[in-house]
């Protein structure tokens, strides 16, 4: 096993006015974490400005327009051949209706404090526990 290179992923905790955030359920055909819940977002394409990349990913995966508010935290995950460094942002729902892409089978708006009980990849659960401490 050589050194596994890090690639970058940016995720967004999209919050609505009811204190809930949006989770997407990964497709059962997904090669990693099938059926697990996650935050919208993904790998930043080469050449993209960070904020544009996040808006694009969010629109592609959820159909929503959002506004970015703050940096929420970070996480790390590992695959067979590489590692991923996740930068997690906090955003706000602005407009649109949820329309999923092929990558996801379902969605839910869930109160922030219920995040640790959700079936997510463990690196996102670890993030959620820290995030709740920060935002209350």
The residues binding a second copy (CB under 8 A) are 3, 5-8, 44, 46-51, 54, 67-68, 70-76, 85-89
**Cβ at position 15, least distance to a second copy in Å:** 16
Is-contact 86 10, C-beta < 8 A? yes
CB closer to a second copy out of 3 and 80: 3
**Cβ at position 2, least distance to a second copy in Å:** 11
CB closer to a second copy out of 9 and 30: 9
Q: Kindly report the CA angle at 89 between 118 and 111, in degrees rounded to 5?
A: 35
Alpha helices in the chain (DSSP H): 50-62, 122-135
CB closer to a second copy out of 33 and 77: 77
**Cβ at position 12, least distance to a second copy in Å:** 11
- Please return the burial class of 121, using the count of CB atoms within 10 Å of its CB with bins 0-12, 13-18 and 19+: middle
In angstroms, the CA 11 to CA 115 distance is: 15
**Cβ at position 46, least distance to a second copy in Å:** 5
């Amino acid at each position: 096993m050589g050194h596994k290179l890090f690639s970058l992923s940016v995720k967004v905790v999209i919050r609505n006015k009811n204190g809930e955030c949006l989770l997407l359920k990964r497709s059962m055909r997904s090669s990693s974490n099938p059926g697990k819940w996650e935050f919208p977002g993904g790998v930043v394409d080469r050449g993209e400005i960070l904020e544009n990349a996040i808006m694009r990913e969010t629109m592609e995966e959820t159909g929503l327009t959002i506004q970015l508010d703050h940096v929420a935290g970070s996480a790390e995950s590992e695959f067979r051949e590489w590692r991923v460094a996740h930068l997690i942002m906090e955003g706000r729902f602005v407009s649109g209706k949820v329309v999923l892409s092929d990558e996801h089978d379902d969605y839910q708006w869930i109160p922030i404090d219920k995040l640790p009980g959700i079936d997510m990849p463990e690196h996102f659960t670890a993030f959620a526990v820290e995030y709740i401490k920060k935002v209350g």
